[in-house]
Amino acid sequence: MRLFFATDVHGSDICFKKFVNSGKFYKADVIILGGDTTGKMLVFLVDQGDGSFLSNYSSDEDELFHEGAELEEHEKNIRNSGYYPYRVTKAQMRELNSSHEAMESLFQRVMLETTERWVKLAEERLKDTSIRCIIAPGNDDHLEIDEVIKASERIEYGEGRVIDLGKHELLSCGWTNPTPWDTPRECSEEELLAKIEGLAKEVKNPKSAIFNLHAPPYRSGLDDAPELKENLQMVAGGATKPVGSTAVRAVIEKYQPMLGLHGHIHEGKGEQKIGKTMCINPGSAYGDWVLQGYLADVDDRGIGSQLLITG
Amino acid sequence: MATTGAASSPGIPSEKPTLFLRKASGVVKAFSPLDSFAYNVLANNPMTLGAISFLLIPWAFPGGNIPIAMFIAMIGGLFCAITYSFLQASMPRTGGDYVFQSRLLGPSIAFPFTFGAYVVANAMFIGLNGWMFCAMIFGPLFQLLGGAWQNKSLLDFAALINQPWGFFLGGMVMIAWITIMVSVPFTLYAKIQKWFFFVGGLATLGAAVVLLLMTQDGWQANLNSFMSQNFGVKDAYQTVIGNAQAAGFNPNLNFQWAATMPAVASCWFILMSSMWGAGNAGEIRDKGSVRTKFYQIAGSLFFSAGIAGLFGYLIVSRFGSQFLSSATWLFTQAPDKTPLPIAPFFSFLSMLASLNPLIIIMIWLAFFCFWWMANPNAGVYGTRVLLAMSMDRAIPAWFGKVNSKTHTPFNAMMATALLATGFNALYSFTLWFPPLTTALSFLIGVSYAVTCFAGALWPFLKPESFKASPAGKYMIGSVPVITISGLVFVAFMIFLIYYFLTVPALGINGVPGLVLGFGSFILGYLIYLVFKAYRKQKESLDLAMVYLEIPPE
């Protein structure tokens, strides 16, 4: 079986499209998206009333874009970088800027609409193939997106389940240990351990299983993130520290699955053996429009060839 | 919830476009420009790199003007800084030449050039340290303290370590130190480095003040007194000049452009590491990210050029150009005729600005602190590149293994240490290898040029991603600025390569230099081809897939 795993696309249209196409491109039997699928930012485009829209995305000065191809290209660029473009009138902008709740509510709506669009796109592109596509949310994904994924008949929802892949079983948990950002799916190490342990008990043969755990194991080298000051500013000099999960590490050490698929820490690209388990974090460079992933040929003897790819 | 950009935040109604950034992991602020600037300028290590260049320029290019050469090197480097600012602001999570080149030009080009620049050149730089340990750092300290305290044991010890085995053992101490520092948690490494940089920065300031207050006559008197009291050499200053003239060297050359231009290649050696330290950026590419990066990289470049240019001026004006060129010429071309007990690195010569032990130690600290803490950087860079190559399976996975107990890339570090030990032996026990040191700036400079070339082509190779990036906003007419800056730096590097290939003192144009300079790249390419073929035969996944872009549509 050839599997492809990517994670942390964070709303990037182009990265999601690449993920959906990865099965055909790499001749993979199973493609797995490991979590943190949704975007982080709304970018407003304010209608100036004369056919032009003002934007302040990724440039030193506010820029005007004319309705039509120019504006659409700008919106496409924003989507490819992982953000949600949203057209508003001046009055709507004023209203949104005055209400935190309105902003949050709009963000939720756009996020869900985008997820629905992505699910439809995946269904369309995969309909004539036998490629299995599994999507499991991560700590940054709001709980509401689960229903959108579950509703699909073509995409398999991975979170909190053990999926039979033939000779292998796939266990998925997108919850993580606490982060400085108070994200939707994080909990204490004790709770996380209980969640994963509960799932691991359903696995029939851990030795051939694949554990898709969004948080990387603590001190695995796959969990090195920039050290932050209290104001979330990076410490100068590029100092990093391990921020992975002790619960994930404990589970890996206890059950020794064949493969551990992780994400969460975008800078933590790499592979690390913990006992007999090959743990992988392909990292993420979604903002560069690059889909980082992991490609492997696995069989009942274990992992054959494997590559960390930059697709 | 947070907002970014200059627009208003919720609560202050405005019709200006804004950005709404939700709570999500990884939403961090890049380190402040001031923090970055401070880190980069200190990490650039102009003092010890300057010491190597200032040992070469006076004798190899007599009549060359160091501050002018430094200025030209800085202007050339500025275009490299611009290109790297665009790349680092646009691909903030990429981190390094190997991935920049791989993404834009493919691994078959990236591997050989970064192998030469970051595997071979880094190991060579580490290997160079034994010689620096004894001849540039500890040797002069023990000589001058021995003289100041009239302590023969210290003088004898200085002479003892300035022998091949002393160089070699000093080199092994440095390799061990680098291995330890690569192995400790990065936070601890950063903290230790910060303190060394702080002390080194203050000491550098002190050294500059001492030299500024010193007259040439005063310095000459110190040298003569030191040499007379400890080595029985009378009027050492004139003796050095006289011996060089008697041996056929003419130190009486006035300023010449023809001598200044090749000196640019040597000055580039001091400035080139400015591109390395910009570090990790914030994930959200907001307004001004290119400018911030540029301030960081160019600030480091300007600072290093300023420091090196200032000391370049000071050593010529305080030690005298005749003496300086004669002393360095004798050391490199007629070592049996020099009366000086140790290599005339500018560390030794600067410490002679005072015979007071406290001031000697202060000036020594200016060299020691930067040298001691900047060197593990070479180990870090070398191992990171090996890790990246290993992850791409361009070299065996063995190199990328991280020790689960120490949490360090032990195998990559051991490979680097082994290669560095080989270079350490070449530096310690041969006379033909040390002059090849400037090949370092050739190897690294060529890799920079390849990265800049990749940057120049980016708008044409991947126009969509370029247009959407912060770099895509900077155009002159219809020409992307990155294309202009990238190509100008490539032209600057071709200008330097001309001198590398035609000037014997720059170490590349003989057989050993050519083998080292070009052979490193060729060896890198062969390793890439061999391993690629091996994987194709033995494994089911083709190495070529690593950087193939998945079509999105």
Q: What is the pLDDT of residue B3?
A: 37
Best mutation target among B1, B8, B25 (most A Cβ atoms within 10 Å) is B25
For A265, nearest residue in chain B (alpha carbons): B26
- CA distance to partner chain A, nearest, from residue B471 (Å): 9
Which chain A residues are closer than 8 Å to B9 by Cβ?
97
Kind and range of the H or E element at B428? helix B410-429
B38 to A40: CB separation less than 8 angstroms, yes or no: no
> Is it the case that residue A27 has pLDDT exceeding 90?
yes
First to last CA, chain A: 20
Banded model confidence at residue B405, pLDDT cuts 50, 70, 90: low
Mean pLDDT of B53-59: 87
CB-nearest to A307 from B22, B284, B393 is: B393
Percentage of chain A lying above the pLDDT 70 cut = 95
Distant-in-sequence, close-in-space partners of B304: CB < 8 Å, separation ≥ 6: B41, B44, B46, B270, B271, B274
- CA distance to partner chain A, nearest, from residue B385 (Å): 13
Banded model confidence at residue B186, pLDDT cuts 50, 70, 90: low
Q: What is the pLDDT of residue B89?
A: 81
> Residues B83, B88, B94, B95: is their CA dihedral positive or negative?
positive
B93 to A272: CB separation less than 8 angstroms, yes or no: no
Q: What is the pLDDT of residue B2?
A: 35
Best mutation target among B8, B20, B534 (most A Cβ atoms within 10 Å) is B20
Average pLDDT over chain B, rounded to an integer: 85
d(CA A117, CA A111): 10
With 0-12 CB in 10 A as exposed, 13-18 as middle and 19+ as buried, what is B53?
buried
A14 to B548: CB separation less than 8 angstroms, yes or no: no
Q: What is the pLDDT of residue B25?
A: 65
Nearest alpha-carbon partner for A83 in A102, A125, A111: A111
Higher per-residue pLDDT: A62 or B4: A62
Mean pLDDT of B40-64: 81
Mean pLDDT of B186-205: 81
Nearest alpha-carbon partner for B230 in B342, B335, B330, B331: B342
Is residue A310 within 8 Å of B546, Cβ to Cβ?
yes
B25 to A179: CB separation less than 8 angstroms, yes or no: yes
Q: B461 at the A interface (CB within 8 A)?
A: no
Q: What is the pLDDT of residue B428?
A: 93
- CA distance to partner chain B, nearest, from residue A151 (Å): 24
pLDDT, tens digit (0-9, with 9 covering 90-100), for B362-371 = 999 999 988 8
Distant-in-sequence, close-in-space partners of A245: CB < 8 Å, separation ≥ 6: A176, A177, A189, A192, A213, A215, A216, A217, A218, A223
Higher per-residue pLDDT: A39 or A63: A39
Within 261-320 of B, beta carbons closer than 8 Å to A belong to: 279-280, 282-289, 291
A307 to B35: CB separation less than 8 angstroms, yes or no: no
Percentage of chain B lying above the pLDDT 70 cut = 89
**Count of CB atoms situated within 10 Å of the CB of A247:** 27
Complex-level ipTM: 0.90
Instruction: Give residue for tokens 């060896």.
Output: B523
Q: What is the pLDDT of residue A114?
A: 95
Mean pLDDT of B50-64: 87
Banded model confidence at residue B407, pLDDT cuts 50, 70, 90: low
- Alpha helix ranges (H) inside B346-401: 346-351, 357-391
> Is it the case that residue B540 has pLDDT exceeding 80?
no
Which chain B residues are closer than 8 Å to A183 by Cβ?
23-25
Distant-in-sequence, close-in-space partners of B174: CB < 8 Å, separation ≥ 6: B126, B129, B130, B133, B375
Banded model confidence at residue B337, pLDDT cuts 50, 70, 90: very high
pLDDT, tens digit (0-9, with 9 covering 90-100), for B9-30 = 444 567 777 777 766 666 555 5
Question: Residue B440, SS3?
Answer: helix
Domain ranges of chain B: 46-537
Nearest alpha-carbon partner for B369 in B499, B219, B203, B252: B203
Q: How far is CA B326 from the centre of its chain?
A: 27
Domain ranges of chain A: 2-40+108-310, 41-98
Which chain A residues are closer than 8 Å to B12 by Cβ?
97-98
pLDDT, tens digit (0-9, with 9 covering 90-100), for B89-140 = 877 655 578 888 988 898 889 999 999 998 999 899 899 888 888 988 999 9
pLDDT, tens digit (0-9, with 9 covering 90-100), for A119-165 = 999 999 999 899 999 999 999 999 999 999 999 989 999 999 999 99
Least confident residue range of A17-21, B189-193, B249-253, B372-376 = B189-193
Q: What is the pLDDT of residue B390?
A: 84
Q: What is the pLDDT of residue A60?
A: 62
CB-nearest to B552 from A14, A227, A287 is: A14
- Alpha helix ranges (H) inside chain A: 13-26, 69-80, 90-97, 100-126, 145-150, 189-200, 246-255
d(CA B286, CA A41): 11
Is residue B296 within 8 Å of B195, Cβ to Cβ?
no
Q: What is the pLDDT of residue B210?
A: 94
Q: What is the pLDDT of residue B280?
A: 44
B28 to A311: CB separation less than 8 angstroms, yes or no: no
Q: What is the pLDDT of residue B27?
A: 57
> Is it the case that residue B165 has pLDDT exceeding 90?
yes
A59 to B397: CB separation less than 8 angstroms, yes or no: no
Identify the architecture of domain B46-537 in CATH.
Answer: Up-down Bundle (1.20)
Higher per-residue pLDDT: B482 or B270: B482
> Is it the case that residue B358 has pLDDT exceeding 60?
yes
Q: What is the pLDDT of residue B453?
A: 97
- CA distance to partner chain A, nearest, from residue B439 (Å): 28
Banded model confidence at residue B406, pLDDT cuts 50, 70, 90: low
Instruction: Tell me which DSSP letter residue B30 carries.
Output: P
Q: What is the pLDDT of residue B115?
A: 92
Q: What is the pLDDT of residue B1?
A: 32
Q: How far is CA A197 from the centre of its chain?
A: 23
Least confident residue range of A135-139, A235-239, B45-49 = A235-239
What is the number of CB-based contacts under 8 A between chain A and chain B?
266
Q: What is the pLDDT of residue B486?
A: 97
Q: B7 at the A interface (CB within 8 A)?
A: yes
Angle, helix B46-60 to helix B66-90, in steps of 10 degrees: 140
**Count of CB atoms situated within 10 Å of the CB of B515:** 15
Mean pLDDT of A263-272: 88
Least confident residue range of A97-111, B283-297, B436-450, B527-541 = B283-297
Average pLDDT over chain A, rounded to an integer: 91
Distant-in-sequence, close-in-space partners of B251: CB < 8 Å, separation ≥ 6: B62, B241, B244, B245, B321, B322, B323, B325, B326, B329
- CA distance to partner chain B, nearest, from residue A203 (Å): 26
B193 to A220: CB separation less than 8 angstroms, yes or no: no
A18 to B465: CB separation less than 8 angstroms, yes or no: no
Q: What is the pLDDT of residue A98?
A: 87
Best mutation target among B8, B18, B21, B22 (most A Cβ atoms within 10 Å) is B22
Percentage of chain B lying above the pLDDT 90 cut = 43
Q: What is the pLDDT of residue B9?
A: 47
d(CA B221, CA B354): 10
Mean pLDDT of A34-53: 92
Task: Quickly name the fold that domain A2-40+108-310 has.
Answer: Purple Acid Phosphatase; chain A, domain 2 (3.60.21)
Nearest-Å Rg of the Cα atoms of chain A is: 20
d(CA B147, CA B360): 11
Q: What is the pLDDT of residue B250?
A: 86
Least confident residue range of A243-247, B49-53, B314-318, B345-349 = B49-53
B407 to A56: CB separation less than 8 angstroms, yes or no: no
